[in-house]
């Protein structure tokens, strides 16, 4: 695994993401949004690389072929989030494990436009976020601030990280987990490495992660079903 050194404006945004990563340690899912989606993508990567030292992280592109994410995912397979949500392509097939950072996976946007309400506001994200929480992983979804369905997406996840923005009129009630108003000054950025620290963690493949999420999701669904059944039984027992 090669070291990753910050450099240039993209590196400055990524370094800014690293600096706010500690604010997300108790969360399992977040929207990273900005009017500048490339800045948002680099902030997401900064958070992801910091958090990947101790848990699995998936970064999803809800804008469309964002260069920072596409570069890491490669071009071998064009399928991505839109193909999963619109055509039922398995989540197992749309994740790409990065070579340079342990525990970091990328979900590309896919072959169809992804910035549509049918995808961004889909309640499926709520179930996926619950699965990430159950397995101790982190889901980061990169969007534009004017994305249709953004308010619903933020409600489905733990909250939002604002990049370049002081507030978010499109989702005034969304929980803001962190604000990244500007990139780190390049001249003041220390070089950093993605090398795993002395305490190491198992490296799960993306397929194994998705399998764990599906199991967790099924367990959550069973619990909710039992609770609903218990409530109905209780009502029936007290009904005249």
Q: What is the pLDDT of residues 7-17, one digit of tens each?
A: 468 899 999 99
User: Above pLDDT 90, what percent of the chain?
Assistant: 62
Question: What is the 8-class DSSP label of residue 33?
Answer: E
Per-residue pLDDT at 92: 82
Per-residue pLDDT at 206: 62
Contact 140, 30 (CB under 8 A): yes
**Token code pair at residue 115:** 């910035």
Contact 116, 63 (CB under 8 A): no
Please list the alpha-helical segments (H only) found in the chain: 8-20, 37-51, 67-73, 81-87, 117-120, 124-135, 150-156, 206-238
Phi and psi at residue 20, to the nearest 5°: -100, 0
User: How big is the chain, counted in residues?
Assistant: 240
Per-residue pLDDT at 201: 42
Q: How far is CA 54 from CA 19, 102, 222, in A?
A: 16, 10, 29
CA nearest to 10, candidates 54, 60, 71? 71
* Segment 176-234, tens digit of pLDDT: 999 999 998 754 444 444 443 433 344 456 666 666 666 655 555 555 555 545 443 43
**Fold (CATH) for 8-219:** Rossmann fold (3.40.50)
pTM, full prediction = 0.79
Which of 81-85, 217-221, 234-238 is predicted least confidently?
Answer: 234-238
Question: What is the 8-class DSSP label of residue 100?
Answer: S
Residue 164: is its pLDDT beyond 60?
yes
- In order, the DSSP letters of 146-193 are T-TTHHHHHHHSS-EEEES-S--TTSTTS-EEEEE-SPPPGGGPPP--
- Delimit the domains of the chain by residue range: 8-219
């Amino acid at each position: 695994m090669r070291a990753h050194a910050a450099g240039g404006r993209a590196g400055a945004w990524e370094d800014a993401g690293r600096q706010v990563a500690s604010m997300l340690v108790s969360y399992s899912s977040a929207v990273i949004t900005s009017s500048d989606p490339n800045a948002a993508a680099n902030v997401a990567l900064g958070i992801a690389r910091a958090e990947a030292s101790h848990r699995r992280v998936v970064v999803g592109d809800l804008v469309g072929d964002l260069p920072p994410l596409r570069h890491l995912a490669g071009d071998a397979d064009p399928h991505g989030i839109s193909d999963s949500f619109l055509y039922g392509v398995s989540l197992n097939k749309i994740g790409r494990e990065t070579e340079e950072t342990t525990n970091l996976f990328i979900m590309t946007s896919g072959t169809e436009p992804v910035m549509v309400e049918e995808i961004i506001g889909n309640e499926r994200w709520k179930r996926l976020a619950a699965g990430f929480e159950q397995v101790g992983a982190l889901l980061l979804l990169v969007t534009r601030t004017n994305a249709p369905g953004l308010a619903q997406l933020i409600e489905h996840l733990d909250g939002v990280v604002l990049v370049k923005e002081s507030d978010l009129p499109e989702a005034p009630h969304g929980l803001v987990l962190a604000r990244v108003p500007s990139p780190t000054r390049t001249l003041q950025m220390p070089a950093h490495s993605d090398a795993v620290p002395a305490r190491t963690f198992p490296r799960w493949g993306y397929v194994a992660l998705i399998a764990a999420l599906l199991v967790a999701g099924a367990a959550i669904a069973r619990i909710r079903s039992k609770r609903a059944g218990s409530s109905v039984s209780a009502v029936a027992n007290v009904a005249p």
